[in-house]
Structure 1
């Protein structure tokens, strides 16, 4: 009996690993706006849904790091759903408090940019499998806002 149960488990595990899953990529991270307490950046994602029906996105979690430190993190609950058999463009706002930017003055230097690493977790509810998280990360430089961006 236990051999039959092991065979069934192996069969199910093999089938689940071959199931097509959504694919995602981070297209861009750019300045969005300045508020009284923070600077907001916008991460743009492309998510490809291979299924013929829409898939709900449960949440998107993010961590923004610079100089080895976390400068912004959070979650975006219930950001919508993925279009059926199509690529969905999603935007994730990332807030960085002004106090953190001031402490990064050494990294900013004369070129007015921040070296960053952005880690995202895109959690999707897949039928049969359940919640599935696609890990994404990118590195780059973000320009600090100029005076004309603020006013």
Structure 2
């Protein structure tokens, strides 16, 4: 009887492992905005759902690192669901206080950008399997706006016309 149970467990485990699972990728990380409270970064995530039914996203967790250290971590509870048989685009806003940005001055003045290392975890609720985490990772740099970008000002060519 124990042998039969082991075979059944192995069969079920193999079938679950072969099931298609949603796939995700971080498509872009950019500066979302600057306010009196801090700087908002925005990660754009695409999630492909192979099933015909929508799947709820339980939570998105994130860790944002710069210059080798964690500058922000947090989570977004219940951000919505992934539509069936299509790619759903999600925006993941992350607000970094100005005090943290000030600590990155050396990196900013070196090349007028902020190097980042972003780790995201999308926790979704799959039928039969239960909660499933899709780990995502992205490294890159976010270019900071110049004074001209912040305060406006056009090209000399535009002024001549």
TM-score normalised according to structure 1 size: 0.94
**Residue number in structure 2 paired with 1:105:** 105
SS at match of 2:14: helix
Runs of 4+ aligned residues of structure 1 deviating over 3 Å after TM superposition are 145-151
Q: Once the 2 structures are TM-superposed, how far is the Cα of residue 111 of structure 1 from its aligned partner?
A: 2.3
Correspondences of 1:1-20 after superposition (within 5 Å): 1-20=1-20
Give the paired residue count. Answer: 151
Q: Once the 2 structures are TM-superposed, how far is the Cα of residue 34 of structure 1 from its aligned partner?
A: 1.2
2:34 counterpart of 1:28:
no
Q: Once the 2 structures are TM-superposed, how far is the Cα of residue 80 of structure 1 from its aligned partner?
A: 0.6
Cα deviation, 1:78-101, whole Å, max 9, x if unaligned, reads: 111111100001000011111111
Q: Once the 2 structures are TM-superposed, how far is the Cα of residue 8 of structure 1 from its aligned partner?
A: 1.2
Q: Once superposed, what is the RMSD of the aligned Cα atoms?
A: 1.5
2:151 counterpart of 1:139:
no
| More deviation, 68-77/108-117 | 108-117
2:55 counterpart of 1:55:
yes
Gap runs ≥5 in structure 2: 153-161
Q: Once the 2 structures are TM-superposed, how far is the Cα of residue 125 of structure 1 from its aligned partner?
A: 0.5
| More deviation, 141-150/14-23 | 141-150
